[in-house]
Amino acid sequence: MELINLHAFQVLKLLNNNEITSVDYVTELLKHINKREPLIGAWNYLNEDLILNSAKKLDEKRKISTGKNIFGLPIGIKDIIDTYDMPTENGSKICIGRQPSKDAHLVKLLRKEGLIIFGKTVTTEFALSAPGKTKNPKDLECTPGGSSSGSAAAVGDNMIPLSIGSQTGGSVLRPASFNGIIGFKPTFGTISRTGMSPVSYRLDHPGIYARCIEDIELIASIILSYDENDYDMIKDYHFQNHSISNLKDFKFAFVKGPAWKYGDEDMKKIFENFIKSIDLRIDQIQLPSVFEKAVDSHITIMNGGIRSSLYKHYNENKLKLHPYTIERIENGSSLSASDYIDAIQSAKKMSLELKNVFSKYDAIITPAATGQAPRDLSTTGNAVFNGYWTMLGVPAISLPLLKGKDDLPIGAQVIAPWKEDNKLLSISKAIINL
């Protein structure tokens, strides 16, 4: 098998057995990127000399290290996350040439473990809705999703085995669904946002892309780590890899939820057939009535956060902003304090009701997107199937289990209780292997 097609954990075995070097591996990736990047447009910043120099240094470090390590694995970083040696431009004309003086906390953790920060992947402007240059590698006429467009497309096209994205609505899970890969958004407060451009402090989640669960677990074990500078982090949280013996011991809830009416008819049929056919203990349930406000509550909280985070840019550089970005900031500006507080209170009520659901079920299964990737590069798709789960802060993952009418991917979203990220990943691995 070609090196570019291997998962990160497989490459790691070759590295640790001295069958290949990191230079060998990244050279093959760069060859593939040079061929495909003009078509896909996944990268905002890529410096081949920097990549190769990093690989050489880590190869030398590997020679003198003892035991197993992860020196020399490459990872892409969404271009809203600071890197001291690469620009972070937030997908915006306003930030062209912006060079941070230090790494974001999660980037520091990755470098410390010996990963190569490969480059900066394309994001929509300020991680909102204005599409960047990225196209979907499964079909170049289709959106790759957003806002983590480049992170998902780069992994989906085998340009890189691992990448970091972020989600405020559905910006990890929806692109994963559209690109046919795995996207993991952990429990809110388990990955630091220090050094990440904010959209909404109440909603922002960094997330991980890969093509297998083993690779997700590898990166999760590094970056799901406490940072005192992010005031929303959970102090008593510890991520550990987890295994299960029998998937039939678990009970699942199939939830259509308030987003179901927005789904494509093709997707609905495919998903319902999937639920009927998969060999799991699944009950279809209705969410409590308070969830009728879920979609609107998420939008309200997000728009309020957008206004708070981005109004300075609107006030000083409005003409440089995309119309979609302007619209979201203005929507946030029109909110009353009462609207915002009501949405927060509704979210709290939903959390309480969701705890009751999780007292009966180990996980929830629901679509990861409204359907296959829209054949429209002017949009990033609808995040309605992800937004309220993001608002509630529960861990969620998109698994590439289904295909739409055009043979394009559709993800199944699996959701677990708060802080049970390890169980979610082990359940997901078992589902993929059914």
Residue 44 three-state SS: strand
pTM above threshold 0.85: yes
Alpha-carbon torsion 354, 355, 359, 361, what sign? positive
Q: What is the pLDDT of residue 243?
A: 84
Q: What is the pLDDT of residue 81?
A: 99
Q: What is the Cα–Cα distance from 383 to 137, expressed in whole angstroms? A: 20
Question: What is the edge-to-edge ordering of all strands in the sheet holding 251-255?
Answer: 43-46, 116-121, 74-78, 163-167, 205-210, 182-185, 396-403, 409-415, 363-367, 251-255, 281-285
CA distances from 290 to 51, 347, 358, 386, 417 (A): 50, 9, 16, 17, 18
Q: Burial of 334 by CB count in 10 Å (0-12 exposed, 13-18 middle, 19+ buried)?
A: exposed
Q: What is the Cα–Cα distance from 418 to 350, expressed in whole angstroms? A: 13
CA distances from 16 to 76, 127, 178 (A): 21, 37, 33
Question: Active-site residue numbers?
Answer: 78, 147, 171
pLDDT averaged over consecutive 10-residue blocks of the chain (434 residues)? 95 96 98 98 98 97 87 98 98 98 98 98 97 98 98 98 98 98 98 98 98 98 97 94 87 98 98 97 98 98 98 97 98 97 98 98 98 98 98 98 97 98 97 94
Q: What is the pLDDT of residue 28?
A: 98
| β-pairing verdict for 396-403 and 163-167 | unpaired
Residue 164 three-state SS: strand
| β-pairing verdict for 363-367 and 281-285 | unpaired
Which one, of 359, 368, 333, lies nearest residue 420 by Cα?
359
Domain with CATH 3.90.1300.10 in the chain: 3-223
How many Cα atoms within 13 Å fall on the side-chain side of residue 297?
Answer: 25
Matching residue, tokens 């590698």? 137
- What is the domain class of 3-223 according to CATH? alpha beta
Q: What is the pLDDT of residue 244?
A: 87
b/e string for 153-182 if b means 16 or more Cβ within 10 A?
bbbbbbbbbbbbbbbbbbbbbbbbbbbbbb
Q: Which residues have CB under 8 Å from 83's CB, separation 6+?
A: 77, 100, 103, 104, 107, 117, 120
Q: Evaluate whether 291 touches 257 at the Cβ level (below 8 Å).
A: yes
Taking residue 349's Cβ as centre, other Cβ atoms within 10 Å add up to 14
CA distances from 48 to 37, 54, 75, 137, 209 (A): 13, 10, 14, 22, 22
Q: What is the Cα–Cα distance from 97 to 319, expressed in whole angstroms? A: 18
Beta-ladder partners of 163: 76, 209
Element (DSSP H or E) covering residue 311:
helix 294-317
What's at 258, amino acid-wise? P
Tell me phi and psi for residue 255, to 5 degrees. -115, 120
DSSP for 1-12, written as a single string: --GGGS-HHHHH
Which one, of 202, 177, 220, lies nearest residue 401 by Cα?
177
Q: What is the pLDDT of residue 66?
A: 80
DSSP structure class, residue 58:
H
Residues 77-106: pLDDT tens digits? 999 999 999 999 999 999 999 999 999 999
Q: What is the pLDDT of residue 242?
A: 81
